[in-house]
Structure 1
Amino acid sequence: MAQQVEAKVGSLGYLGIGVKDMAAWRDFAANVLGLMVAGEGSDGATLLRMDEMSRRFMVHPSGEDDVIFAGFEVSGKAQMEALEAKLNKGGVETTRATDDEKKARAVVDMIHCKDPAGLRIEIFYGPKVMFDQPFHSTRPISGFQTGEHGLGHIVLTVPDMKAARHFYEDQLGFLISDYISMELAPKFSIDLVFLHCNPRHHTLALAPIALPKRLFHFMLQLNNLDDVGSTHDLVKSRGIKLGMDLGKHTNDHMVSFYMQSPSGFEVEYGWGARQIDDATWHVTQHTSGSIWGHKRAG
């Protein structure tokens, strides 16, 4: 009997970001975040590395100052085709990548579609890896937690939470980690849902708020707490605006801080998040985002 192929994404493989100020982004990525600028792709995007993969971020001079695509990895051709069939059956139109698109992403194959808010979602397998040319940060940091966990996590603002949850949970196969209901002002609160597709506590979180940008923040997880502390000092010394100061989250227990990127959305820089084992994990809800700290700047 043939083994049934699981139709779900495995990790967040890469992000595409459209920006206005490419020079500011190259400086921020390399000299603050500690990413490795790895030249240009075939489509002119600046490539940023954080591990053995040839690109984790592709920065395009297209001016949106926002995420323009998100790439989710699956393990192989059968998994991609199973997910393609599942999406099509659910009424989501998918498109096979052209040779030029596959070259730009450096993948063996890829399909793409749109989420309910119009964000381009790419599902790929066979990324180019470069063990023969190891990742080297321009900063004295120990590196990032990636591997099966993917590059980190993203928080997206969505105008229709029901539609977004149906797409990401029922069609892409994300599982619920937990919920946070936060009061942002008297009589005004938002309910966020946190989703996982591997042991990382969450690869995706959805926020039902209408903002000009789709991307609320992305997160990078460091291998050492000292990397977070030294970068926090660097951010303050360079006068980069903090979004939230150092703190520890209630749900994933990550110690982190948030800084403003040159595009205006935030980057969470953290360490120490707990992981999920689906065999034992229980979904919970929280009414605060942090155990301590994470005070909003200004």
Structure 2
Amino acid sequence: MRRVQCNPDVIHRGGVSVGGSEMSVFALGYIGFRTDGAIEEWQAFGQDTLGMSGTVESGVLRLRSDDRAFRLQVEKGEPGLAFVGWEVANDEALAEVVRRLEAAGHEVEPASAEDCRARGVREMVRSVDPAGTRLEFFYGQMCPQSPFISPTGTQFVTGDLGLGHVVFQVDRFDETLDFYRRLLGFRVSDIWQGENGTATFLHCNARHHSLALRPGGDPGNPRMIHFMLEVATLDMVGMAQDRGYDALTRRMGRHFNDMMLSCYFRTPSGIEVEYGTGGIQIDDATWTVSLIDRPSGWGHQAP
């Protein structure tokens, strides 16, 4: 394994190497959101429905799902996505990301020591993908001494698989896809091509996909369709569906490609969260890309 977990009780699954060399991006590290509502509303949703633990400091909410200092951050502002944090292994990997991005003509901004402290990371840089998504690349995220304790007894599947996945609709699809594949080392898992839409699913570790891209949307205004959190058991998904029924947007169903059994909720920022279990993992030595004609095998209907 490439990285040792700070907390051995966190559910941990193996990383992945590609073609004998490790990818530049290791995992989805964290996501930042904005809300124009009460921060306490997001805190209640994160704790009571999702089973994360949350603390508010200086008006900023940070939610934990494992041994990391935070996985989701929420602050006041226009509702929506603020940033996506992608993790790399170490300072050499971060320097390589910077080199590739700058060589391709993308601006890279080193984060200040104050910003790194606020994120709880050793080092971080910022950039923007061709669709306009604000990105942060980092290594060395803080693992606090205090253990993660879910208020609902939920166990999240993270470790080398990272936080989960994110799905975006982007107007500059080809350029954005090339950005993640050529510059950041993502590999295609499979492609959805059906009557109701298309999407390309990409992985950067053994999780079936950490990122998916769909064409469309407004220029310079990428839309996060949803993000995903994986938990350990079907019962944990079912109990969350019961707890958060008022925010439920899609009832339980199974996806056709990663086999995730999941339901969906609307977050207080207006972005959906998929909440699932049982996602398959990829071994690049044997995996082959497939073309699928629908995203769900069954279910995922509106309540």
TM-based fold match above 0.5:
yes
Question: Is 1:99 matched up with 2:113?
Answer: yes
SS at match of 2:141: coil
Q: What do you get for the CA RMSD once the two structures are aligned?
A: 1.6
Question: Is 1:11 matched up with 2:27?
Answer: yes
Match of residue 28 from structure 1: 45
Q: Quote the offset at 1:218 in angstroms.
A: 0.7
From 57, 60, 64, give the equivalent of 1:49: 64
Alignment of 1:252-271 (within 5 A): 252-271=258-277
Q: Quote the offset at 1:213 in angstroms.
A: 6.3
Alignment of 1:88-237 (within 5 A): 88-130=102-144, 132-141=145-154, 143-184=155-196, 190-210=197-217, 214-236=223-245
Match of residue 8 from structure 2: none
Number of positions where the alignment pairs a residue of Structure 1 with one of Structure 2: 281
Could you tell me the percent identity over the aligned residues?
39
Q: Quote the offset at 1:7 in angstroms.
A: 5.9
Q: Quote the offset at 1:23 in angstroms.
A: 2.1
* Matched-pair contact (CA < 8 Å) for 1:5–1:78: no
Match of residue 38 from structure 1: 55
* Matched-pair contact (CA < 8 Å) for 1:6–1:79: no
Normalising to structure 2: TM-score of the pair?
0.89
From 42, 59, 76, give the equivalent of 2:74: 59
Q: What is the CA deviation profile of residues 17-54 of structure 1, one whole-angstrom value per residue up to 9, with x for unaligned ones? A: 1111122111101111111103327xx42111110000
**Ranges in structure 1 where 5+ consecutive residues have no aligned partner:** 185-189
Q: What is the CA deviation profile of residues 195-217 of structure 1, one whole-angstrom value per residue up to 9, with x for unaligned ones? A: 00000000001111216762111
Match of residue 14 from structure 2: none
* Matched-pair contact (CA < 8 Å) for 1:13–1:72: yes
SS at match of 1:227: helix
Match of residue 187 from structure 1: none
C-alpha separation in 2, matches of 1:282 and 1:126: 32
C-alpha separation in 2, matches of 1:268 and 1:5: 31
Match of residue 89 from structure 2: 75
Normalising to structure 1: TM-score of the pair?
0.90
Aligned residue identity for 2:184: L
* Matched-pair contact (CA < 8 Å) for 1:94–1:111: yes
From 274, 290, 293, give the equivalent of 1:287: 293
* Matched-pair contact (CA < 8 Å) for 1:66–1:213: no
Q: Quote the offset at 1:6 in angstroms.
A: 5.0
* Matched-pair contact (CA < 8 Å) for 2:171–2:222: no
Structure 1 residue runs of 4+, over 4 Å off? 4-7
